[in-house]
Every structure is written in structure tokens, then in C-alpha cells.
Structure 1
């Protein structure tokens, strides 16, 4: 029987691979450990002969947490998490996992997702959100990447009371972007110099990840060039100003999230128009 073939790549195209599975991909696994939860991985576990690196095998970054046998591989340019070695499999063994979010022509919203393992937060001290003094009903959420190089504090209404969005565009499906949109005055970063920023297309948005562990943190909005903005009507300029004051953050990096109470708005527009640069 001919194999079921799937092509995959990091968003910028530096790393590319091919899967030749013996059966169609239907079920993926969401590992509950701290690192996999922060990165939003959806794992599949192919046999060794079902996975082939086509480009960039020597250029990927790797991260191994303390006291862990797992080695995680991600693109150092765009931050896409690609695969892992030494991960526990659904059958109870140890093997290689591939991030299904990096596959082309698939929709992560359509996968059957099963939980894998138990929650583990050994890398960080988990703190519950606290009430914010001076802002009635607001809370303070802390969080950050996995390795501790980047931290974040956000002051906001409780997450179940605010706008939370998820979509499956080419970059958001790879980054597992379930995001909130606070004003930048509500957000404080620690170790911001350790973030790597990736831009593409018109470069209006920078997607920021930890350069050490690869965890996607959020986005920095740049918008169009100032010379373009200045030629726009005043109302349009004001709309852009208000938009650029926002600091999108991934909910997955925050501690104490009330996940069961969130009202996540999904936009199922897919990856139409996304083309991998063949010259990279």
C-alpha cells in the first residue's frame, strides 16, 4: 500500500521534512508537561523510517531542560517547534515526535486531540493570579518561557472576562497562538533582550520567541511605515495608533490560567496564500 505522504516545514522554510505514514493522520497528542504545554505542541509519533529531513537538518536549534532526557528541536529564525527526541509515546515507550502543527495542507482544528502524560511544572514556580490593587476586579498573571530567560507580568481583567482569540493561519497554527490583547502599559517583560523576533510578508508584525528554549511569547506590532501612515486620513491614523498600543500575548505562557472558563473565539480561515520560499 502506498504511504500517506505529508510535507512539513518551519514557517520561514529553513527546515523541511517529509512524513510517509502507513495510515492517514487523524489523532495527535497534546503532552501535558510544562514545556509542551507552553509551546502548544500537537505530537504524532512516526516510525523511524516514516520521517525524512529534506532541508536544514544541521541548522535547527535544540533545547534540553534540566533533568530531562528529551531534546527539542526548533527553527532559530522563525521559532517553529519541529520535532523532539526521547519523548514518551502513547504506547509507553520512548521515541521521536513530530509537531503536527508544522505540516502543510492540514488543519489543526480538525485533528482528534488526545491528552498525553500528566501536568508537570518542574521548571518554574507556579503562582496563582493575584488581585490588582487600584483596578477593581483586575488580576496580575505572571509567566514566561520554559528556560527562565524571558518572564512576563500582565495586569488585566480575569482572562475569562476578556477577548481570547485563536486562528489557524500559517504562523498562528505553528505557534499555537491562543492570544489576549492587553495594552502595552499592562505588560512588563523581564529578559526582553533574550527574545528573537521573526517578521515576514509586509513585516507589520514581529513574532517573538525565546532564543534559548524556543517558546513563543507573543507579538510586537510595527504597522506600516510612518511615511505611509502620515498620508492617511486622521481617523485611520488614530486607529493605527490604538492598534500599535496593543501587545498580543500567548495565553499558554501564563500561570494560573482558568482554561475551562475561557471563551476562545476561533477563526478558521486556514493558510490560503502561504507559500514557502523555494530559494531558501
Structure 2
């Protein structure tokens, strides 16, 4: 495990929920979404297969939220409120894992993050997934 950068550990803010996750493609799948919920939540996520997440503790402390079509399921710690991961609407066989919950990783580690157009979701429009823009972080020196 120590040599595989696709395997990461993580937790919520209070530490009640701890997990190990195997990222599907490292950080190459990093993204944000501009749908109403994700816009307010502000998380940057990375992809993992449903079988790629293993809870080390606190799975019973997770609760979830669904809206609109009810397909996407957003999981968060019932104690501290931090969103740890979501089951994607575009592919319910994938999780989007909040990079801010991964040990040793910060959302500010990424200079550019693609923002996907969740307002005009491909499941609603029948068209392909579309990028809405890019979120950039430029640190002050």
C-alpha cells in the first residue's frame, strides 16, 4: 500500500469517519461541479469505484442527502457535517471523494480544477458531459 499513490486514507473533520480509498485514476479525474448543491458545498472530488472505498471506522456516523432526481447521494458525517464522498448521478457506479478529506491532500494543491456543468447535466439534456469552466488557484508568494 505504501508504494501505491492511488490508495489513500482519509477522514471527516472530527475523525468519527475514517476510510481507505483506491482512486480510479489517481488525481487525473479531479473536478468540481456547478450544480446547485455542489456550488454551495464547494468540494473538489476525485473518482473511485464503488468497491474502492473501505470504511475503517464510523460508517454508521454517515448520513446522506439526495435532491432533484434522487440518483446522486451525498454522504457526510452526522457529527461534524463534512462531506466525505458522493455517489455520482452521471455514473452511479462511481464515488466522488472529497480531496479535502484525504490525508496529506489539500484542494489548494491543484493549480487548476475543471468545473463540470451540473446545471445542464447530460442526464437531463441527452448531450455529452460538458465543462463549464476552470477553477484556478494562484498562491501569493
TM-score of the aligned structures, taking structure 1 as reference length: 0.38
Q: 1:20–1:85: structure 2 CA closer, same or farther, 3 Å change rule?
A: closer
Cα distance, 1:27 vs. partner? 4.6
Cα distance, 1:75 vs. partner? 0.8
Instruction: Tell me which stretches of 4 or more aligned residues in structure 1 moved more than 4 Å.
Output: 264-268
- Please give the alpha-carbon distance, in whole angstroms, between the structure 2 residues aligned to 1:3 and 1:49: 17
Q: Which runs of 5+ in 1 are unaligned?
A: 121-263, 269-280
Relative contact order, higher structure (CA 8 A, sep 6+): 2
CA deviations over 1:117-164 (Å, ceiling 9, x no partner): 2336xxxxxxxxxxxxxxxxxxxxxxxxxxxxxxxxxxxxxxxxxxxx
- Please give the alpha-carbon distance, in whole angstroms, between the structure 2 residues aligned to 1:51 and 1:267: 35
Q: Pairwise mapping of residues 11-90 of structure 1 onto structure 2 (< 5 A)?
A: 11-21=13-23, 23-88=25-90
- Please give the alpha-carbon distance, in whole angstroms, between the structure 2 residues aligned to 1:97 and 1:80: 14
Aligned position for 1:108: 107
- How many residues matched? 121
- Please give the alpha-carbon distance, in whole angstroms, between the structure 2 residues aligned to 1:19 and 1:57: 14
> What is the DSSP-based 3-state SS (H/G/I as helix, E as strand, rest coil) of the residue aligned with 1:37?
helix
The structure that is helix-richer by fraction is 1
- Please give the alpha-carbon distance, in whole angstroms, between the structure 2 residues aligned to 1:16 and 1:267: 33
Aligned position for 1:143: none
Would the aligned equivalents of 2:84 and 2:98 in 1 still touch at CA under 8 Å? yes
Would the aligned equivalents of 1:3 and 1:23 in 2 still touch at CA under 8 Å? no
Cα distance, 1:35 vs. partner? 0.3
- Please give the alpha-carbon distance, in whole angstroms, between the structure 2 residues aligned to 1:57 and 1:43: 19
Cα distance, 1:48 vs. partner? 2.8
- Please give the alpha-carbon distance, in whole angstroms, between the structure 2 residues aligned to 1:78 and 1:70: 21
Cα distance, 1:65 vs. partner? 1.5
Q: 1:265–1:117: structure 2 CA closer, same or farther, 3 Å change rule?
A: closer
Cα distance, 1:66 vs. partner? 4.0
CA deviations over 1:198-224 (Å, ceiling 9, x no partner): xxxxxxxxxxxxxxxxxxxxxxxxxxx
> What is the DSSP-based 3-state SS (H/G/I as helix, E as strand, rest coil) of the residue aligned with 1:53?
strand
Cα distance, 1:102 vs. partner? 0.9
